[in-house]
Amino acid sequence: MSMEQQCFLNPKPKEVQIATAIEAATGKRAMRKEAKRRINFWDGNINSHARCLNNEKTMQHNREFMALSSMVGDINRERQSEKDAAKEKKQKDEATKAAKKIADDAKLAEKKAELLPVMEEDVAKGYVHVKTLTNARLKELLLFYYNKKGMGSKNKPDLLKATWECMHPGQPYPAAAP
């Protein structure tokens, strides 16, 4: 390797500085005025640091400001971690609810399959037989056989009326139930 090649491969700091200045003076960097920006950046930093370091009161003010900023940052991190924990707990609760709902639906489907033949017999025997059923059986009949939800009434006449409306749609409920 010749001295000339070695000079090109290992430039001195002064040569790098000259090359950077030439590059900043021409081409895209010249269009964006990078050299001037770099000068303004360094001038601004040097001036502001010199002002801060020249006055003890300003230095103390800056320390207090940085301490306050640090505390606010800590509080924000704590709040964010609490939000994340609450979000994670909510997702876990939703997953538990969904699993419970699936299990409940499976139980209801199993119970419906078990009770459906008995309910078909009750309906086949007619309304007179249905009137003799207990409130719990009437609710099951309305829920599983007729798919009528929301019958929370414990009042037997209300349950009988709802059953009549399902068994005889469109016919008015008789004043004196048959």
| pLDDT, tens only, 60-95 | 777 787 778 788 888 888 888 899 999 999 999 999
Number of domains in the chain: 1
Burial of 165: CB neighbours in 10 Å, binned 0-12, 13-18, 19+ = middle
Is residue 151 within 8 A of residue 122, CB to CB? The reply is no
- Answer yes or no: is 150 within a domain: no
* Rounded distance between C-alpha atoms, residue 43 and residue 21, angstroms: 18
* Rounded distance between C-alpha atoms, residue 131 and residue 138, angstroms: 9
- Answer yes or no: is 169 within a domain: no
Q: Which domain holds residue 13?
A: 1-54
Residue 59's closest CA among 51, 71, 68, 67?
Answer: 51
- Tokens (6 digits) for 63: 């320390």
Residue with tokens 């003799």: 132
Instruction: Give residues with Cβ within 8 angstroms of 114, minimum separation 6.
Output: none
- Residue predicted with more confidence, 42 or 12: 12
Is residue 169 very low, low, confident or very high in pLDDT (cuts 50, 70, 90)? confident
- Answer yes or no: is 174 within a domain: no
